[in-house]
Structure 1
Amino acid sequence: MSRLAEYRAAEKALQAQLAQLEAMKNDAGLKKEIEFEQKLQSLMKSYGKGLREIVAILDPNPSAAKHSAAPKQQRKARVLKVYKNPHTGELIETKGGNHRGLKAWKEQYGAATVESWLRT
């Protein structure tokens, strides 16, 4: 990009930002926020308090609020399942379906058949 094109692009960006700034200056919501900030700063100065002190007064235990607001959901403990192979008498105890021996049985005998071997 040539220096002239770079200059014109920067100039165009500046004009767009100035237009955005003018639009924001006329926004009533922004004016109210600025007024609030000024009043808050003067109030803090009159009492000799800083922003951290104000936050500590309003929220004395911020870490507890974060933890109590969204309690962590714990999973229900998995149930121990016991399968007994009627052909060999072998027992497999597992809490999940990712057991090597159970997978081998399902491959050999079929998943429905192995599930019927579940002891309750």
Structure 2
Amino acid sequence: MSKLAEFRQLEKHLAEQLQALETLKGHSGLKKEIEFETKLRDLLTTYSYSLKDVINLLDPQAGRRVPVATPKAGTRKARQVKVYKNPHTGEVIETKGGNHKGLKEWKIEHGAATVESWLAK
């Protein structure tokens, strides 16, 4: 892009932003907010208070609050340990999932439904 084209584009954007600024200046809500902020800052200066002092006066617990942790997407609760007891040998297997070597061998040997019935409650 040539420097002249870049200059004209920036000039156009500046004109648009100045127009938006003028529109905002005429907004009554903005005028009220500016007036409120000015009076509040004057009042704080008069009494030698900061915004933090006012917040502590109005809500003393505000600084001590711990943000509530929201569970992250993708995290899930920990699996519970399952305990299987083989009634033939008395052997016990504790596992959080079905990928245990001994548990797989039992399922091959005795059948998955039978092994699941060995789950200790």
TM-score, normalisation: structure 2: 0.71
Alignment of 1:15-54 (within 5 A): 15-54=15-54
Alpha-carbon shift at residue 35 of structure 1 (Å): 1.3
Shift >6 Å, 4+ stretches: 75-78
TM-score, normalisation: structure 1: 0.72
Tell me how far apart the structure 2 counterparts of residues 6 and 104 of structure 1 sit (CA, whole Å).
69
Tell me how far apart the structure 1 counterparts of residues 22 and 44 of structure 2 sit (CA, whole Å).
30
- Which segments of 5 or more consecutive residues in structure 1 lack a partner in the other structure? none
Verify: 1:104 aligned to 2:104, yes or no.
yes
Higher helix share: 1
Alignment of 1:35-114 (within 5 A): 35-67=35-67, 70=68, 80-94=81-95, 96-97=96-97, 100-101=100-101, 104-105=104-105, 108=108, 111-114=112-115
Q: 1:33 to 1:86 in 2, by over 3 A?
A: same
Work out the percentage of aligned pairs sharing the same amino acid.
50
Alpha-carbon shift at residue 31 of structure 1 (Å): 1.6
